[in-house]
Structure 1
Amino acid sequence: MANSPPDAGGLNALPVSEKTPYSAKEADHDSNSVDVSKEKDFDTSVEADNADDEEEVTYLKGEPVVDSGRDVSRFVVDIRDDGDNALTFRSMVLGTVLAGLGAALCQIYLFKPVQMSVSTVFLLLVIYTFGNAWATFLPRKSWVEGTRFHGLGPVFHFINPGDFTLKEHVVSSLMASTAAGGSTAVLNFAVQRLYYNTHVEALTAVLATFSTGCFGYGLVGILRPLTVYPSEMVYWGNLPTVAVFQTLHFDSGANVKRVKLFWAAFTGMFVYEVIPAYIFPLLNGFNIFCLASQHASKKTIDVFTNLFGGADSNEGLGLFALSFDWQYIGSGSMSLPLIQQ
C-alpha cells in the first residue's frame, strides 16, 4: 500500500484555474515590457546619479575643485589610449641610461651633508627631449622603403619605431625616476664597513640589493587591490607629473615654447651654480644671526650655532636661514603652483 501510486482521480479532483494560459507572444510581450521598465528605471537612476555628481562639484573661478578620487578621474586624468607600444628598444635605452645616471648621482650624495636627488619632472623633460631627437634624427623604416636597402627596414623600425609616444615616455620616466631615488639596501653594507669592519664582496652586495628590490616590487604587486585599484587611492604628489605628461603629448602646439623655457632655466641654473659652489660658498647658508655673533663669546657662538646654523651637517636647526644654492633649495616643489609652495 505504501508503494502504490497516487490516486489519479484525487489529482483530477484538485481545482484548476479557468484562466487561459499566456501565449508565447503575450509572454514575450510581457517580459519585454518588464525589461523595458527596469531599463528605464536604471537609466533614470544613472541620470540622477550623474545629476547628483554635477551638483556635488564645486567650481572656483570657472575651474572644478578636485577633492576626491572620482573628481581626479573626471577632470585631471585623461583615459585616452592611442594603442601604442610601451616597451620598445627606445624606451628601454633611454630609461636605462638615465636610471644609471640618476642612481649614481643619488649614491654619491647619499653620504654627504647635502642630500640631493634628481627630480622626476626634470627626468621626464630630459627624456622627452632625447626621445624626440631620437625619433627625428635616427633612420626610420620609411627612409629605405622602395630602395635597395629595404631589407634594413625591420632593423630601422626596431631602433626607431616612429614618433616618441606617451607610453614610451612614461615607461622611460618610471625607470629613471625609480632608480634616481637610490636603494636603501646599500646602507646595510656601509654600516658593516664603517662600524663593524666587515667587508662585503661586490657580487654579494649587488645580488642582495637586486633581491631586496625584487621583493619590494613583488610585495607592491600583491597589494595592488588595496593600494592601486580603489578609486579613492589617489597619490596626489604624482598629479603634477601626470599633468606634464598629458600636456606634452596632447597639447603639442605649445610644447616648443615650453621645452625652450625649460632648457633656458636649466642652463641658467647650471651657470649660476658655479657661484655658490666655488666662488662664493657663503651663499650655501646665509644667516644674519650667525654673522652678527662672530665676535661674541664662545658660549654665545655655540648657542647661536645650535639654533641658527645648519649649512653643514649636524650643525644646528637652521632657524631663519636663507640659502641661495640650488643644491639646498632643490626642485621638488618647482612643479607645484606658487600658491601651494
Structure 2
Amino acid sequence: MGSVEVENKNVPEEEEVNEDEESPIEQVRLTVPTTDDPSQSVWTFRMWVLGLVSCVMLSFLNQFFSYRSSPLVITQITVQVATLPLGRLMAAVLPTSKWSLMGRKFSLNPGPFNMKEHVLITIFANAGAAFGNGSAYAVGIVNIIKVFYGRKISFFASWLLIITTQVG
C-alpha cells in the first residue's frame, strides 16, 4: 500500500523564536511578549506629566525624609503601583481631539494607557529615587557648609556644586 500525504493548510506553522530574546526566567517568559506593537504610543502627554511629576516628587520626598534619624525611603515601585490607575484615569478623562502645532498633529489622549508608557514613567521615577542610594552626595556638602561652618551659600552655587558632582 502506498502512503497518502495530507496537507493541512489551516494549521499555522510554528513561529521561530530567537532563543537570545527568550528570558531564562519562566515568569518573565510567560508575561512579557518578545514582539513589539508599534501601534502603541510612547511619547504621550500622560507619560511626560506622570513621569516628570513622579521624578520630582520622589526626589523631593526622599530628600525631605533623609533628614530623619530613621529615614523613610520611597522607592520607584511605589510610583509604579500608583501610576497605573492614574494613567488609566487620564486615558479615560483627557480629551481625544487632535491639535496642530508647528505643522505636527498631536492629541493629549492618543489611546489606552499602555505598558510602554508605564515603563517610561517607572524609569523617570527611578531617576528621582536616586537608584536607592539616597540623595546626591553634594547635598551633604551644602548642609555641612550651612550648619557646621555657619556660612551662607547661594542657591546658584549650591545647585552648580550638586549638578557638577552628579554629572562628572
The verdict on a shared fold, with TM-score over 0.5 as the criterion, is yes
Measured against aligned partners, the alpha-carbon deviations of 1:6-31 in whole angstroms (never above 9, x if no partner) come to xxxxxxxxxxxxxxxxxxxxxxxxxx
Structure-1-length-normalised TM-score: 0.36
State the partner residue of 2:9. Answer: none
Structure 1 or 2: larger helix share?
1
Report the CA distance shift for 1:214/1:190 in structure 2 as closer, same or farther (over 3 A).
Answer: same
Report the CA distance shift for 1:128/1:70 in structure 2 as closer, same or farther (over 3 A).
Answer: closer
Q: Which has the higher contact order (CA 8 A, sep 6+)?
A: 2
State the partner residue of 1:154. Answer: 99
Out of 22, 32, 35, the position equivalent to 1:80 is 35
Pair 1:208-2:161 in alignment: yes
The one-letter amino acid of 1:194's match is: V
Report the CA distance shift for 1:195/1:105 in structure 2 as closer, same or farther (over 3 A).
Answer: same
State the partner residue of 2:58. Answer: 102
The one-letter amino acid of 2:110's match is: P
Measured against aligned partners, the alpha-carbon deviations of 1:82-140 in whole angstroms (never above 9, x if no partner) come to 12343322211111112222111111111111211213221111111111111111110
Measured against aligned partners, the alpha-carbon deviations of 1:266-301 in whole angstroms (never above 9, x if no partner) come to xxxxxxxxxxxxxxxxxxxxxxxxxxxxxxxxxxxx
Counterpart Cα distance in 2 of 1:166 and 1:124: 11
Structure 2, unaligned stretches of length 5 or more?
1-18
Pair 1:139-2:95 in alignment: yes
More deviation, 82-91/163-172:
82-91
Report the CA distance shift for 1:191/1:100 in structure 2 as closer, same or farther (over 3 A).
Answer: same
Report the CA distance shift for 1:164/1:212 in structure 2 as closer, same or farther (over 3 A).
Answer: farther
Kindly name which structure, 1 or 2, has the bigger radius of gyration based on alpha carbons. 1
8 Å CA contact 2:41, 2:110 repeated in 1: no
State the partner residue of 1:276. Answer: none
Counterpart Cα distance in 1 of 2:164 and 2:119: 25
SS of the residue aligned with 1:185?
Answer: helix
Structure-2-length-normalised TM-score: 0.69
Q: What is the aligned length?
A: 136
State the partner residue of 1:185. Answer: 138
